[in-house]
Amino acid sequence: MSTAARQTDPIAILYTEHHSWLQGWLRRRLGNVAEAADLAQDTFLRLLRSPQQFDSPPQARAYLRVVANGLCIDHWRRREVERAWLETLACRPEAVEPSPEQRAVVIETLLEIGDVLGRLPQKAASAFIMAQVDGLSYREIAAQLGVSDRMVKKYIAQAMLKCALVEAELQG
């Protein structure tokens, strides 16, 4: 891109005027220069995918800060899932330790499931976790949630349907 074209491209101007500030803001939040650089780039990639018009530099910075903050939250969530998964792996014999590729797939799957559960009503998500993770019966779940066995079946069916829809989305 020529210098003249960059001067008229609003995203290029926004990048030039705000990238250093955004990267510094992210560095203070994350405490890591490399992660801050990655998330700053991701923030501008989001802006490229969905261009915005800003009336002032403070409005542009506010928008960039909101997008970058969302990316920080996603980053921290992913890091927490990775930490929990690695702790689980540490308890297993080395012979059954998955490859780095398998780890990445498991972490992505866990994040997807977490996202699905986050979109469900609280009781439906709780019922699903109690059944799938804790191995509780429908009757035990019903007692803990204060609902009928039939309602537990509805909650679990609702969660399973959401998971199936995500799986179908991922496959094609």
Residues 6+ apart with CB under 8 A from 57: 17, 18
Helix, strand or coil, per DSSP, at residue 132: helix
| CATH architecture group of domain 1-97 | Orthogonal Bundle (1.10)
Task: Give the pLDDT confidence of 9-66 residue by residue, as tens digits.
Answer: 788 888 999 999 999 999 999 999 999 999 999 999 998 888 888 888 889 999 999 9
Residue 163 has pLDDT above 90, yes or no: no
- Angstrom distance (rounded) from CA 23 to CA 28: 9
Domain ranges for the chain, please list them.
Answer: 1-97, 98-172
pTM of the predicted structure, to 2 decimals: 0.63
Task: Give the pLDDT confidence of 88-128 residue by residue, as tens digits.
Answer: 777 776 656 778 888 888 888 888 888 888 888 999 999 99
CATH of range 98-172; options 3.30.2350.10, 1.10.3210.10, 1.10.10.10, 3.30.870.10: 1.10.10.10
